[in-house]
């Protein structure tokens, strides 16, 4: 029989406690200030990807402060946006670098993307962000000016008449976005902030089709993914209160309890009810499989979205064209109710 005396037992207990505390400490996310941390990341990697929730007001308030920080605009050359049709890059360049551009022409950048007519880009945060960069460029040195690159495929809607036309013209949006990052940024030795929906980034796709995966096939280890979030997912409210983080806090998620949270469930459309989404079994992936850093933007109850000026949809000509696009994509016209709110929706999906 193995006998352990009291002194040895105490030592074992102390060692166990030390190990437990060490594991717990490693599992806690480390709080850092968002803006200086992102600037520091750019000293290590040329691409920082922001996986946005579309229209997230707190995110764009943060991004505005970020781009206006000297450490950012003196080190970062480009900002790539999902919310812009590459067909109008010349128009966007002219506007961003201080040229006279009629608003009706500038609007084409975001109204005519591949996601028209149900895109969220008419939310005011997107135009306000462009105005911020234009104003910044007007007062800083020419060498420090930031270029905004429209990274959605160049679709000319006047040439799109069928769903087959649409799919052929749109192609792979992830592939196009990645190609722009490679051709316009990395191959020229530049640095860029990428802003795209969160689903377009991640390391868990076995087919390697995410934007960052496509980029890193050509330029390995060049991308850092940041996921902005208001709230820390349902069921973690107590932990979130204990953290008591100020808005704009950033943390690396690898091997922390945040990073080890279950990944999002996939949703599929119920074939018996075309508008009903059915959740799939829990994901085998963790949150850290999708992003490297979490950017905390306050509690979920305080999250707000930008506003839409629905008055543009009073134009009969525009409304007719948007309904034509809706028929091409969804085989349904847009609802009159959504015309009033500005959050355009088709009556149903195929």
Q: At which residue do the structure tokens 């100020």 appear?
A: 246
* C-alpha dist (Å) from residue 326 to 85, 157, 250, 323, 341: 18, 12, 39, 5, 17
pTM above 0.85, yes or no: yes
**Eight-state DSSP code of residue 232:** -
Q: Can you list the pairs that 8-12 forms with residues at least 24 positions away whose Cβ atoms lie under 8 Å?
A: none
pLDDT band at 347 (very low <50, low <70, confident <90, very high): confident
C-beta of residue 116 within 8 angstroms of C-beta of residue 186: no
Take residue 233 and report the two structure tokens written for it: 């997912």
- 109-164 pLDDT per residue, tens: 999 999 999 999 999 999 999 999 999 999 999 999 999 999 999 999 999 999 99
For the packed helices 211-218 and 173-180, what is the interaxial angle rounded to 10 degrees?
40
**Other CB atoms within 10 A of residue 201 CB:** 26
Gyration radius of the chain's alpha carbons: 23
Measure CA of the first residue to CA of the last residue in the chain; give whole Å. Answer: 73
- 27-77 pLDDT per residue, tens: 899 999 999 999 999 999 999 999 999 999 999 999 999 999 999 999 999
H or E segment to which residue 82 belongs = strand 78-85
Mean pLDDT over 208-218 rounds to 97
Mean pLDDT over 200-221 rounds to 95
- 264-312 pLDDT per residue, tens: 876 555 544 445 556 667 788 999 999 999 999 999 999 999 999 999 9
Domains of the chain, earliest start first: 30-307 (3.40.50.11550), 312-350 (no CATH)
Distance from C-alpha of 198 to C-alpha of 210, rounded to nearest angstrom: 10
β-bridge mates for residue 194, sequence order = 49, 80
Mean pLDDT computed over every residue of the chain: 91
Report percent pLDDT > 70 for the chain.
88
Distance from C-alpha of 89 to C-alpha of 109, rounded to nearest angstrom: 8
Note the pLDDT of residue 131.
98
Query: Is cis: bond before 117, omega within 30 of 0?
Result: yes
- 105-118 pLDDT per residue, tens: 999 999 999 999 99
For 325, the 3-state DSSP assignment is helix
């Amino acid at each position: 029989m193995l006998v352990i005396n009291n002194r040895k037992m105490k030592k074992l207990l102390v060692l166990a406690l030390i190990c437990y505390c060490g594991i717990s400490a490693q599992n806690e996310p480390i709080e850092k200030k968002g803006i200086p941390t992102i600037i520091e990341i750019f000293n290590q990697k040329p691409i920082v990807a922001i996986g946005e929730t579309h229209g997230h007001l707190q995110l764009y308030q943060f991004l505005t402060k970020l781009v206006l920080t000297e450490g950012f605009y003196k080190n970062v050359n480009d900002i790539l946006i999902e919310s812009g049709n590459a067909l109008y890059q010349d128009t966007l360049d002219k506007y961003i670098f201080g040229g006279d551009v009629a608003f009706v022409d500038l609007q084409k950048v975001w109204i005519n993307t591949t996601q028209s007519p149900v895109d969220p880009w008419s939310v005011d945060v997107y135009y306000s962000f462009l105005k911020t960069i234009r104003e910044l460029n007007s007062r800083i040195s020419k060498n420090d000016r930031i270029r905004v690159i429209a990274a959605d495929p160049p679709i000319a809607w006047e040439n799109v008449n069928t769903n087959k036309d649409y799919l052929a013209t749109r192609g792979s949006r992830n592939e196009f976005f990645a190609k722009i990052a490679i051709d316009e940024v990395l191959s020229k030795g530049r640095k860029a902030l990428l802003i795209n929906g969160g689903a377009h980034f991640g390391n868990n796709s076995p087919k390697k089709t995410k934007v960052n995966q496509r980029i890193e096939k050509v330029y390995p280890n060049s991308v850092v993914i940041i996921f902005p979030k208001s709230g820390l997912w349902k069921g973690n409210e107590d932990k979130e209160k204990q953290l008591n983080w100020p808005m704009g806090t950033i943390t690396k998620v690898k091997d922390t309890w945040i990073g080890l949270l279950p990944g999002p469930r996939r949703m599929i459309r119920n074939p018996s009810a075309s508008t009903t989404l059915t959740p799939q079994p829990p994901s085998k992936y963790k949150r850290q499989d999708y992003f490297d850093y979490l950017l905390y933007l306050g509690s979920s109850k305080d999250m707000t979205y930008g506003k839409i000026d629905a008055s543009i949809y009073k134009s009969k000509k525009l409304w007719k064209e948007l309904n034509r696009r809706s028929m091409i994509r969804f085989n349904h016209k847009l609802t009159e109710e959504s015309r009033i709110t500005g959050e355009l929706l088709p009556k149903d999906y195929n």
